Chain A
Amino acid sequence: MSKLLIDVGSTYFKVCQQSGISQYFRDFKKDIYDDLITKCGDIFAQYKKEDVFICSSANGGLSTLIIGLTNSFSLKFAKNIAFNSGINIIDTILYSKIEETKAPLELVDVVIVVGGIDGIGNVFDEKLFKYLQNVQYSNIVYVGTKQDANYLKEHLPALKILGNIITGKLHVNEVELKEYLTNLYQADIVGKEDIKHLYELTSNQIYSTPYIVNRSLPFIDANFEVVNPFIVVDIGGATTDIHYSRDLVRDNILTESEYDRLVFKKLGVYKSRETLVFAAKNNEFVYELLAYLNVTENILEEESEKALRILMQLSIFLVLYKVSRLSSMYVTLHLELLKTVVLTGGITKVLSYEEVESIIVFFYKKVMNLHAIPTIVMDYNYAIWTLGMSNTETRS
């Protein structure tokens, strides 16, 4: 019996059977379960619960505050692990400057405290507790020196203690923290009431889509002509994810995975349209870009098909900009080494190859000062995630 693979996005359901992939636009008046049953009830009737595999990216994304001892080790390692677990960094704090640093006003999903190799003690003191009194957070995790763990636990009962991410040789140990953060991200998605109901349709674990897409990258050349190093940009309704070969990063961090990912929570074209427009308006190149596309900034306020196309083009530009050397907020990718850009997600249903190409030409010319651009591959059928789903299913 074949399997049924479902991806629950914020704007579309993607349903993959042996006969092919079909897509259904979401009805936002209904909850996800009812909507899915209305549209695909007859399909579900053909499969047993154990043959149904579901992933979801609807409303995903977490925020983090990292408090670390140094920039080169604690903060760098924790930041890298958090990014790769699909988390959106909101802030990092150097512990030596904690007294001068203001607490974030927004609720933080997870605070990460890190510093020191095992064997050294008294790294953290009252300064940490005083600061945390002013921070609103849902989870707090400690991944620093073992010697301070009990002391911190006494003062912070909610503290989750995991293995130190800094090894005795000052290398990164990402296993435990990555698993914890991935599970939190996972729980955030599946914990949403809408998604919980989906367990009535499957007896398998529901995974987050960025995780599944990341898992598919080692198998991507089975279906696409992709040359390493490559990136996969998944632009959807609520989030935009970028998956990249580690060959594009020069951060001196050795990890087991060949591919990492970044999830931008607020760069989608439907559900987070306002923040996308805000990010676009604050970009130094945007007016030049709009002129290049022969439109004015008024297009950003319009509700038309043309406006949607422009927004999608803007989101390609912004995501590349955010990982370029001009933006230090996230990971800096050496885009001059890039050989292939793979586009997937809702964007491939809206933009033509030429429209994508024109924006990448603009980016490489203006930001990279290069005339040659990487090869562009469009995943028109949104098939990449199915590679990851099949692989996950095989492993389990």
Chain B
Amino acid sequence: MKKVVTGVVGNDIHVVANRLIDISLQARGFEVFNLGVNTSLEEFIDAVVETDADILLISSLNGEAEGWCRDLQFLRSEYSLRDVVFVIGGNLAVGEAKQSDIIPKYQSYGFDLVFHQVDLNTGLDTLEAYMKERA
């Protein structure tokens, strides 16, 4: 069973979306460690280390993830997390933004999969396909 650490990054209290992600992941057979809302990037990384998780799935709805996730490469390098898949999804920009601008930006921060305003099931289908391909 693949292990996923999830939660909502930064000063963001969108708890309903967080619960839906948790339930959907469990329904797809993942073991879920849900850190809930208002979670810092360091806590996410630390949870991945403590649980030896396969996937880190960060969600953000207030659009402020950009400011909270810039240090991902740095924190990743603190531990050897080369096999962990880093995913971010939700509403990833404040105001209007194009997918073509957002996705490369988050990829440059160190995320493997980026879902900006993509519905949850489509995102999770893509994640499962990605994991299968890697295996």
Using a CB–CB cutoff of 8 Å, the interface residues on chain A facing chain B are 69-74, 96, 115-117, 120, 166, 169-170
Report the 5 A-B pairs with minimum CB-CB distance, sorted nearest first: A70-B46, A72-B46, A120-B52, A72-B43, A73-B50
Contacts A169-B33, A170-B35 given; does A74 touch B50 at CB 8 Å? yes
Interface size on B, as a range, is 10 to 19
Closest approach, in angstroms, between the C-beta of A148 and any C-beta of chain B? 12
Closest partner residue, chain B, to A116 (CB atom): B50
Closest partner residue, chain B, to A74 (CB atom): B50
The answer to whether A117 touches B50, judged by C-beta atoms less than 8 angstroms apart, is yes
Contacts of A73 in B (CB 8 A): 46-47, 50
The answer to whether B78 touches A96, judged by C-beta atoms less than 8 angstroms apart, is yes
The answer to whether A69 touches B50, judged by C-beta atoms less than 8 angstroms apart, is yes
The answer to whether A69 touches B49, judged by C-beta atoms less than 8 angstroms apart, is yes
Among B31-86, those with CB < 8 Å from A are 33, 35, 40, 42-43, 45-47, 49-52, 78-79
Contacts A72-B42, A170-B33, A170-B35 given; does A120 touch B51 at CB 8 Å? yes
Closest approach, in angstroms, between the C-beta of B105 and any C-beta of chain A? 26
Contacts of B40 in A (CB 8 A): 72
Contacts of A170 in B (CB 8 A): 33, 35, 47, 50-51
The answer to whether B51 touches A72, judged by C-beta atoms less than 8 angstroms apart, is no
Contacts A96-B78, A96-B79 given; does A70 touch B35 at CB 8 Å? no
Contacts A169-B33, A170-B33 given; does A71 touch B50 at CB 8 Å? no
Contacts of A74 in B (CB 8 A): 50
Among B1-50, those with CB < 8 Å from A are 33, 35, 40, 42-43, 45-47, 49-50
Most buried by B among A74, A115, A166, A170: A170
Contacts of B46 in A (CB 8 A): 69-73
Contacts of A117 in B (CB 8 A): 50-51
26 A–B contact pairs at CB < 8 A?
A69-B46, A69-B49, A69-B50, A70-B45, A70-B46, A70-B47, A70-B49, A71-B42, A71-B46, A72-B43, A72-B46, A72-B47, A73-B46, A96-B78, A96-B79, A115-B50, A116-B50, A116-B51, A117-B51, A120-B51, A120-B52, A169-B33, A170-B35, A170-B47, A170-B50, A170-B51
Closest approach, in angstroms, between the C-beta of B14 and any C-beta of chain A? 18
A169 to B78, CA, bound (A): 23
Closest approach, in angstroms, between the C-beta of B47 and any C-beta of chain A? 6
Using a CB–CB cutoff of 8 Å, the interface residues on chain B facing chain A are 33, 35, 40, 42-43, 45-47, 49-52, 78-79
**Cβ-Cβ contact count across A and B, 8 Å cutoff:** 36
A365 to B47, CA, bound (A): 39
Closest partner residue, chain B, to A94 (CB atom): B78
Closest approach, in angstroms, between the C-beta of B76 and any C-beta of chain A? 12
A345 to B127, CA, bound (A): 61
A169 to B47, CA, bound (A): 10
The answer to whether A166 touches B42, judged by C-beta atoms less than 8 angstroms apart, is no
Contacts of A71 in B (CB 8 A): 42, 46
A71 to B52, CA, bound (A): 15
Known: A72-B47, A73-B50, A117-B50. 14 other contacts (CB 8 A): A69-B49, A70-B45, A70-B49, A71-B42, A72-B42, A72-B43, A73-B46, A116-B51, A116-B52, A117-B51, A120-B51, A120-B52, A166-B50, A170-B35
Most buried by A among B33, B42, B52, B78: B52
Closest approach, in angstroms, between the C-beta of A147 and any C-beta of chain B? 10
Contacts of B47 in A (CB 8 A): 70, 72-73, 170
The answer to whether A70 touches B50, judged by C-beta atoms less than 8 angstroms apart, is yes
A116 to B51, CA, bound (A): 6
Closest approach, in angstroms, between the C-beta of B86 and any C-beta of chain A? 17
Closest partner residue, chain A, to B48 (CB atom): A70
Closest approach, in angstroms, between the C-beta of A164 and any C-beta of chain B? 10
A166 to B50, CA, bound (A): 9
Contacts of A169 in B (CB 8 A): 33
Contacts of B51 in A (CB 8 A): 116-117, 120, 170
Contacts of B78 in A (CB 8 A): 96
Closest partner residue, chain A, to B43 (CB atom): A72
Closest approach, in angstroms, between the C-beta of A364 and any C-beta of chain B? 28
Closest partner residue, chain B, to A114 (CB atom): B50
A166 to B52, CA, bound (A): 13
Closest partner residue, chain A, to B36 (CB atom): A252
Contacts of A166 in B (CB 8 A): 50
A25 to B78, CA, bound (A): 55
A338 to B78, CA, bound (A): 38
Closest approach, in angstroms, between the C-beta of A36 and any C-beta of chain B? 49
Closest approach, in angstroms, between the C-beta of B53 and any C-beta of chain A? 9
A72 to B46, CA, bound (A): 6
Closest approach, in angstroms, between the C-beta of A361 and any C-beta of chain B? 34
A96 to B77, CA, bound (A): 11
